[in-house]
A = this chain, B = another copy of it.
Amino acid sequence: MVSSKDVAKFAGVSQSTVSRVLNNPRLVDAKTFEKVTKAMKELNYRPNSIARSLVKQQTQSIALISGPLHNPFFVETTTSIVNYSKERGYNVNVHFENFGDNMAVYQDVLNQKVDGIILSSILYEDPIYEELIKSEVPFIMFNRKHKKNGHYVEMDNVQAGRIATEHLLSLNHRKIVWIGGPLSMTTFKGRFDGFKEVMLEKGIEVSDHNCKTTDTSKSDIKKVLQEVLAVKERPTAIFAATDSIAIYLIDLLIEKGYRVPDDISVIGVDNIALSQHNSFQLTTVGMEEEKDLGRIAIEHLIEIINEAPADFINKTYKNKLYNRSTTKKI
């Protein structure tokens, strides 16, 4: 391991001068600069980022706690976050949500020094919120949020739920089943509330038989779909709370011999890129804004890191219907 001291000795200058060559070249004589630069090259010197972090009290790295990549939504956000961070000179430490024990993931992140945290994994009533606040590391939530506020960016989940439901109703569907994930996540809660509101406005009851929550795993979704189809009067439409769930449901339906949308309509939420160029064109609800939430959030986070704003950043984006070809009038 060659250090700045080695370079200094080699070039016949002090370590301070070597450091200045890197950080403040205008303070050093052209002749000296040349010597030192040559020595660096000669010795294949690379500044030790750890030592630099220690003295600068910043690591130029960000922790991402993401939902699982088998959900294409998180594929997009992770890509955005990693690439934009890099552009801005930050490294990204990636962690995945662990449904069994998220606390362990958080502890991991907090024990590692980072300049900021970006997370999609928080629950509406998550005790980790206090830990994050106590740690004093800037953090932003995207997609999901916490009841105590904090910085966050999200879509208007209730509105999304309303739009999807209104669309299905406008196509004359009445037997509609909502299939989503845990209501402890604000995305699912909001989208469900929107569904429920509109259904009740239309005078349709919402209960266990037309509202199904899963743990978002493929096996659980499969099980739930089985239940839904087993009923004597099977639904004519499914409102999947995410595109990821919608896509998997459609795969299952096709496998079982159903035609979508002829036999059954399916609508999702998120408008993930995949929904536009698949063998089927998924009808979905998504943000009017074209940047994805990951990208929006990481831009804000870096801004927060550099400027420490007094107020919380809270953005809730409006949605619209992306009417494609997995829903149909009956």
Q: Are A50 and B59 in contact (CB under 8 A)?
A: yes
Q: Are B93 and A79 in contact (CB under 8 A)?
A: no
User: Contact string, A265-288, partner B, CB cutoff 8 A, digits 1/0?
Assistant: 000000000000111100000000
Each complex incorporates copies of this chain amounting to 2
Task: Given A50-B53, A54-B50, A75-B75, decide whether A96 and B108 contact each other with a Cβ distance below 8 A.
Answer: no
Closest B residue to A47 by CB, please name it: B111
- Chain B nearest Cβ from A98, distance in angstroms: 8
Q: Are B75 and A95 in contact (CB under 8 A)?
A: no
Taking the complex as formed, is A15 at the interface, i.e. its CB lies under 8 A from any CB of chain B?
no
A134 partner, pick from B1, B44, B278, beta carbons under 8 A: B44
A51 partner, pick from B1, B54, B75, B111, beta carbons under 8 A: B54
Please, which residues of chain B bring their CB within 8 A of the CB of A134? 44
Segment touching B, from A160-168, A250-258, A310-318: A250-258
- Chain B nearest Cβ from A236, distance in angstroms: 20
Taking the complex as formed, is A8 at the interface, i.e. its CB lies under 8 A from any CB of chain B?
no
Q: Are A96 and B79 in contact (CB under 8 A)?
A: yes
Taking the complex as formed, is A91 at the interface, i.e. its CB lies under 8 A from any CB of chain B?
yes
Task: Given A50-B50, A75-B75, decide whether A82 and B111 contact each other with a Cβ distance below 8 A.
Answer: no
Q: Are A112 and B135 in contact (CB under 8 A)?
A: no
Please, which residues of chain B bring their CB within 8 A of the CB of A16? none
Please, which residues of chain B bring their CB within 8 A of the CB of A279? 250-251, 254-255, 279-280
Closest B residue to A75 by CB, please name it: B69
- Report the bound CA distance from A254 to B83 in whole Å: 32
Q: Which range holds the interface residue count of chain A?
A: 35 or more
Q: Are A82 and B54 in contact (CB under 8 A)?
A: no
Q: Are B82 and A48 in contact (CB under 8 A)?
A: no
Taking the complex as formed, is A94 at the interface, i.e. its CB lies under 8 A from any CB of chain B?
yes
- Report the bound CA distance from A108 to B75 in whole Å: 22
- Report the bound CA distance from A117 to B54 in whole Å: 23
Please, which residues of chain B bring their CB within 8 A of the CB of A135? 46
Q: Are A86 and B108 in contact (CB under 8 A)?
A: yes
User: Contact string, A62-80, partner B, CB cutoff 8 A, digits 1/0?
Assistant: 0000001110000100110
User: Contact string, A286-318, partner B, CB cutoff 8 A, digits 1/0?
Assistant: 000000000000000000000000000000000
- Chain B nearest Cβ from A31, distance in angstroms: 27
Interfacial residues of chain A within 16-70, with CB under 8 A of chain B in the complex: 44, 46-51, 53-54, 57, 59, 61, 68-70
Taking the complex as formed, is A206 at the interface, i.e. its CB lies under 8 A from any CB of chain B?
no
Q: Told that A47-B111, A79-B96, A82-B95 touch, could you supply 10 new A-B pairs with CB distance under 8 A?
A: A48-B54, A49-B111, A50-B53, A50-B54, A69-B78, A75-B75, A86-B105, A94-B94, A218-B277, A279-B279
Across the A-B interface, give the 7 residue pairs with the lowest CB-CB distance, nearest first: A254-B279, A94-B94, A251-B279, A69-B75, A50-B53, A50-B113, A50-B54
19 A-B pairs whose Cβ atoms sit less than 8 Å apart in the complex:
A46-B110, A47-B111, A49-B111, A50-B59, A51-B54, A54-B54, A61-B112, A68-B79, A69-B78, A70-B79, A82-B95, A86-B108, A91-B112, A93-B93, A93-B94, A251-B277, A254-B279, A279-B279, A279-B280
